[in-house]
Structure 1
Amino acid sequence: MKKVTVYCGSNRGLNPSYEQEAKKLAFEMVQRELDLVYGAGNVGLMGVIADAMLAGGRHVHGIIPQKLVAIEVAHKGCTELTVVETMRDRKWLMAEKGDGFIAMPGGIGTFEELFEIMTLNQLGYIQKPLALYNVNGYYDGLLAFLKHSSEEGFLHQAQLNLLIVSDDPKDLLNQMQGFQPIHMDKWEVRR
């Protein structure tokens, strides 16, 4: 794993710990000589993690659709800035460029990206580690819902097992680096 795609909010959130934890994640990535792929924003947690990675001397590849360049204030300091036509192009390029994925606290866009990577892993289009950086228990409610979905027969336990969850960046990256994919043919099919 050399490049990590990080999904996170274009807001900083109300609790200052979200910003602090974004910096901790960046520090740990810098220590491991990992580079960042992200949504190219200069605002919110996106700007925080990009600035911390750049300060650590790492390569930061920002990918943003033209329509959002002004809205999300595209980060002009990115080592590499790719402006694409659509959100679909952005998401696909971010999925393609990253060797693993981390969803930090964020909003609807972060949730969409998280679920898209879960789906791509499930269907075998990619086989890359996906992690939730569960700062302050941010994802506890979502994890409870995913467990409920599995208990109701709509989500394979094997897919849930692929989701790495931690509130510690060292543990998160250790688990990602030890990731072992599960092939779809090994999953139980419910009829």
Structure 2
Amino acid sequence: MPTSPSTTEANQKDSKLVCVFCASRDSPDQAYNEAANSLGRELAKAGYGLVYGGGSCGLMGRVARSVHENNGDVLGITPHALTSIEGATGIGRTLLVDSMHDRKSMMNDYAMAFIALPGGFGTLEELLEITTWSMLSIHSKPVIVLNTNGYYNALRDLTKNAVKAGFIHGDNSEIIVYCDTPQEAVAAITKYSTPKNRYDLNWTSPQPM
């Protein structure tokens, strides 16, 4: 039964939860669907749980079911408005929130790392926002892309162009680690090294003007 964050008894922020961003629909190309199934198995096998956008559709539902079926912890965080599209699932625990901002903020709070599978505008937005948050030192957690079928090659090329143009520091282009297989993506969590030239900002106390 979905609950609000204020009433849930599931505030297990010490759990080893990995946040996964991905599509809320399946692909006609089964390679993407199977990558989602496999990532869930690999996360659970490595002792990780899942925090994700909730719902039972598409790659999101596949990852969640796979983690759950392999005895991993699953926490979905879903805005009320999206339950009519993505579904309110009984996979693991579900928290209902008021906005997309609340969803993303809470996923960051719960997650120890982030993995992006292929997806559309929403997945791209989540990946780029959490990458920006790393650059601004809002978090220092691993940001990993599962680059199935070279799906994110264009993003990697765009980042290289931005570095060449002087818009991204060369070190910060390494915030995102690209992996070809689910096994590599899960292994990259413990191997991840945060780039050194991020903005050294303090977000916990007021700063002098």
Q: TM class by shorter-chain length? A: over 0.9
Cα offset, 1:97, TM superposition = 0.7
List structure 1 segments (4+ residues) > 6 angstroms apart after TM superposition.
none
Query: TM-score if structure 2 supplies the norm length?
Result: 0.85
- Stretches of structure 1 that go unaligned for 5 or more consecutive residues are 187-191
How much identity, in percent, do the aligned residues show? 34
Q: Tell whether 2:146 aligns with 1:136.
A: no
Report the Cα offset of residue 112 of structure 1. Answer: 0.7
TM-superposed CA distance for 1:185, in Å, is 5.6
Within 5 A, what are the aligned runs for 1:1-191? 2-77=16-91, 79-183=92-196, 184=198
Distance (whole Å) between structure 2 residues aligned to residue 130 and residue 170 of structure 1: 15
Provide the TM-score with structure 1 as the length reference.
0.93
Q: Return the alpha-carbon distance in structure 1 between the equivalents of residues 161 and 44 of structure 2.
A: 36
Decide which structure has greater helix share. Answer: 1
1:164/1:176 contact within 8 Å kept: no
Matched to 1:25, the amino acid is L
Q: Unaligned regions of 5+ residues in structure 2, if any?
A: 1-14, 201-209
User: RMSD of aligned C-alpha atoms?
Assistant: 1.4
SS of corresponding position for 1:99: strand
How many corresponding residue pairs?
Answer: 185
CA distance in 2 between partners of 1:28 and 1:91 (Å): 24
| Deviation of 1:143 (Å) | 1.0
**What SS is found at the alignment partner of 2:88?**
coil
**What is the CA deviation profile of residues 168-187 of structure 1, one whole-angstrom value per residue up to 9, with x for unaligned ones?**
1222222221222234268x
Deviation, structure 1 residue 64: 0.4
